[in-house]
Amino acid sequence: MTSVTFLWHLHQPCYRRADGTALAPWVALHAGGSYATLARAILERGGRGHVINIVPVLLEQMEAYHDGNVVDPVVNALVTPSAELDEDGRAVLLQWALYVTPRQLERYPRLRELASRGRSAPSEIRGNALFGPADLRDLQILFILSQAGEQAWRDDDLRPLHEMGGGFSGGDFAAASAWLLRQPGRLLELWHEIEDSQGVEISTSPYAHPIMPLLVDTGVVGASWAPSPAPQAPAFAHPEDARAQLTAGLELMARRGFDIGGCWPPEGSVSDAALEIYSEAGVRWLVTDEGILEKSLGRGLRSDGRIPLELYRPWRRKQGSPALFFRDRHLSDRIGFVYGRWEDERRAAADLVQHLQRLAAQLPGEASIVLALDGENPWLHYPQGGGEFLRELMEGIEASDLEPATLGQLAQRLEPAELPRLHPGSWIGGTFSTWIGHPEKSHAWKVLADVRNAVAGSAELPPSMLLAEGSDWFWWLGDDNPTPLAPLYDRIFRGHLTDACTQAGVEPPEILGQAIKTATVPVRVPVSHAWEAPILDGRITSYFEWSLASWVDGKGPLRRLGLWGGNGFLHVLVEGESALSQLVRELPLRVRLESPTGDIEEITVTSHGCEPGGARCAVGRVAELSLPWDGRPSHRLLVQLGEQSLPDDAVLLLAPFPVDEGDYNHG
């Protein structure tokens, strides 16, 4: 009989600094929402074949909320009566209560109205002029309800508030705030109830959710990108940190009473060196993505339209190493990214069961189908909060001829095939590009390495160093996962490193005071291979020379910037409020082009001329430069005179587009 397993990965990075202050509230907000939705569905339906992967720093933070060992300004703003909020409290509430999904806004028209009002007003007038105490109280309660998901209409304490939808009283506020504060403790109870359930397994990840292969040695990017060229990667090689992360995670879970047999390696990231560390620690199974199996076997698994039988069995590298399971990416992604757009959760669950049954009918008897994904974020986008989908899914599996099984059960009874090689990579594209390679991401690894070297003389690895090695800080850098909270996550990352220096008794490097995350401003850049390249002579020789360009306006010494590309170059024109040849006598002009993989082209203009020597550059009334560019998107352009950049405090994110040269008169 074909088995089916669901691994639900639950994790948050450590938002809590060493002083006990939480700089983001997601642990507390999801405790009674997405996490509770999953746990309650499993317990209510007696779901079997589920693996709940709890990252240790998530568990640790949940305990801190339960024990009162955390100061969270957002939670404080949610549980303080609106009339008693000071100016800072109102500002915090109005900032964070706007982070809601369209699904959450659909449920509460009053929340949608308040959010629209807040987003349309300048931040400096929101708190006092637009929101009275009654508005703020409604915002507090509705934000709690929106984060509660289906608990808002299934929990007896919240249901009356959900049905009211607004116009809340002080008593309503007391009920909602008390409910919010109870949830971390209640979730801890639910997780232990799940541990005691039949057919359910608790697994974990290394302590702070680091990308283990990169901790071992960032040099692994060469093999990960092969046969494609690898990006530049700062040197970081601390296998002892990877071992410390895994040991700390396993020991923390054991102290909390969880019997751990297997791990979700953070972001499905694996390598032979990391696998050896898991093996040394006695980990019996790991899960990663089918893309890793494809690259390990050196061939596509679905390219010919056949059922990829190799995907539905365990593997191992050698005798005694952990069993390796590879998730079915297509079915996993249906839960994570497809079914949330369906309006009927029961129909979505039935559709998944049908997919599983059709697949099982084509597999040999001992096949094992593994679905592994984020067990938290999807439910925010489901029309009924995901609980109906989960309960219907569990009922459908039990009524089918599929056999629910945990990975621990499968690892015990199935004989793995031997994998000839293990491709180093993650679940995203089979490489580590989401965490290293982009200039911001690689710079963060350089900062991490500098601090790691600074604390090397410490008798023990500082606890905050482990927290800074978590994967999320690198995830939010770069341009691939945009969020307005990225500058905050950058500050938390550097804050952990500052705390690590304090714990080690060393002076924090000055670089920790400099932001890593840079604001980006998209700009469309015309690309023509027929237009004549500009004559680099420091002046606008003719109207047509730069008439093709896109323009970016500035202020201060830098007035505007012209950009166009073609034939392997990006052409840049810089105009100032006075002649550039005069401006660069006082301050250098830097023009820096960074590729998405970290390659850098840079020209510096000073009173002595253009550097490096031989650069395609001239300065006079204006500065004209041509930098090598392959015309691909997502390059970042920094134009900076002294400390002033154009645009202000940002870099340009290039979006090339081909032009119809016939629309232009070459003169």
- In the numeric block, which tokens belong to residue 570? 């990006």
Same domain, 313 and 247: yes
Q: Is the pLDDT of residue 284 over 70?
A: yes
Residues whose CB falls within 8 Å of the CB of residue 230, separated by 6 or more in sequence, listed in order = 221, 222, 224, 437, 597
- In the numeric block, which tokens belong to residue 597? 């993989």
What's the chain's Rg over C-alpha atoms?
27
Residue 8 lies in a domain: no
Using the 3D structure, point to which of 482, 513, 544 is the last residue of a domain: 513
Q: Is the pLDDT of residue 618 over 50?
A: yes
C-alpha torsion angle, residues 499, 502, 504, 507 (rounded to 10)? 120
Q: What is the pLDDT of residue 127?
A: 54
Each residue's pLDDT tens digit, 481-527:
989 999 999 999 999 999 999 999 999 999 999 999 988 899 999 99
What is d(CA 276, CA 243) in angstroms, rounded to the nearest whole number?
10
Q: What is the pLDDT of residue 122?
A: 62
Q: Is the pLDDT of residue 70 over 80?
A: yes
More confident residue, 661 or 26: 26
- In the numeric block, which tokens belong to residue 179? 């409910």
- Please say whether the beta carbons of 285 and 314 come within 8 A: yes
Same domain, 278 and 405: yes
What is d(CA 22, CA 488) in angstroms, rounded to the nearest whole number?
12
For 356, the enclosing helix (H) or strand (E) is helix 345-360
Each residue's pLDDT tens digit, 316-338:
999 999 999 999 999 999 999 99
Using the 3D structure, point to which of 491, 513, 535 is the last residue of a domain: 513
Helix (H, G, I), strand (E, B) or coil at 318: coil
Counting every residue, how long is the chain?
Answer: 667
Residue 11 lies in a domain: no
Each residue's pLDDT tens digit, 547-602:
999 999 998 899 999 999 999 999 999 999 999 999 999 999 999 998 887 788 99
Residue 425 lies in a domain: no
Which string of DSSP letters, residue by residue, matches 47-91?
--SEEEEE-HHHHHHHHHHHHT--B-HHHHHHHS-GGG--HHHHH
Q: Is the pLDDT of residue 667 over 50?
A: no
Which string of DSSP letters, residue by residue, matches 462-513?
-HHHHHHTBSHHHHTSSSSS--TTHHHHHHHHHHHHHHHHHHHT-PPPGGGG
C-alpha torsion angle, residues 543, 544, 547, 548 (rounded to 10)? -170
- Please say whether the beta carbons of 336 and 380 come within 8 A: no
Taking alpha carbons only, the member of 427, 436, 636 closest to residue 518 is 636
Query: Rounded to 5 degrees, what are φ and ψ at 632?
Result: -85, 155
Each residue's pLDDT tens digit, 381-435:
999 999 999 999 999 999 999 999 999 999 999 999 999 999 999 999 999 999 9
What is d(CA 181, CA 79) in angstroms, rounded to the nearest whole number?
8
Confidence of residue 120 (pLDDT cuts 50, 70, 90): confident
Q: Is the pLDDT of residue 365 over 70?
A: yes
Same domain, 225 and 338: yes
Same domain, 528 and 392: no
User: For residue 525, what are the β-bridge partners?
Assistant: 656
Work out the number of other CB atoms within 10 angstroms of the CB of residue 271.
24
Predicted TM-score (pTM) of the model is 0.90
Residue 13 lies in a domain: no
The region of weakest confidence among 43-57, 462-476, 487-501, 528-542 is 528-542
Same domain, 261 and 191: no
Residue 463 lies in a domain: yes
Taking alpha carbons only, the member of 411, 324, 413, 404 closest to residue 3 is 404
- Please say whether the beta carbons of 121 and 399 come within 8 A: no
Using the 3D structure, point to which of 389, 418, 447 is the last residue of a domain: 418
Confidence of residue 301 (pLDDT cuts 50, 70, 90): very high
Parent domain of 456: 439-513
What is d(CA 165, CA 160) in angstroms, rounded to the nearest whole number?
9
Same domain, 210 and 175: no
- In the numeric block, which tokens belong to residue 524? 């469309």
Residues whose CB falls within 8 Å of the CB of residue 102, separated by 6 or more in sequence, listed in order = none
Q: What is the pLDDT of residue 125?
A: 54
- Please say whether the beta carbons of 232 and 253 come within 8 A: no
Taking alpha carbons only, the member of 3, 1, 9 closest to residue 286 is 9
What is d(CA 363, CA 368) in angstroms, rounded to the nearest whole number?
9
- Please say whether the beta carbons of 107 and 136 come within 8 A: no
Is the bond preceding residue 227 a cis peptide, omega within 30 degrees? yes
Residue 152 lies in a domain: yes
Residue 278 lies in a domain: yes
Same domain, 221 and 349: yes
Strand intervals (E) in 497-635? 519-527, 550-553, 558-566, 569-576, 589-594, 600-606, 609-611, 617-619, 623-628
Q: What is the pLDDT of residue 665?
A: 41
Q: Is 256 left (phi over 0), alpha (psi -120 to 50) or beta?
A: alpha
Same domain, 256 and 181: no
Taking alpha carbons only, the member of 338, 339, 381 closest to residue 149 is 381
CATH of residue 651? 2.60.40
- Please say whether the beta carbons of 87 and 129 come within 8 A: no
Work out the number of other CB atoms within 10 angstroms of the CB of residue 586.
11
- Please say whether the beta carbons of 297 and 400 come within 8 A: no
How many structural domains does the chain have? 4
Same domain, 463 and 527: no
Alpha helices (H) in 108-219, listed in sequence order: 109-120, 123-125, 133-148, 151-154, 159-164, 170-195, 212-216
CATH of residue 326? 3.20.110.20
Amino acid identity of residue 515, one-letter, is A
Same domain, 140 and 40: yes
Same domain, 208 and 267: yes
Structure letter (DSSP) for residue 577: S
Residues whose CB falls within 8 Å of the CB of residue 136, separated by 6 or more in sequence, listed in order = 82, 85, 90, 93
What is d(CA 365, CA 500) in angstroms, rounded to the nearest whole number?
52
Each residue's pLDDT tens digit, 473-483:
999 999 889 89
Residue 476 lies in a domain: yes
Same domain, 377 and 260: yes
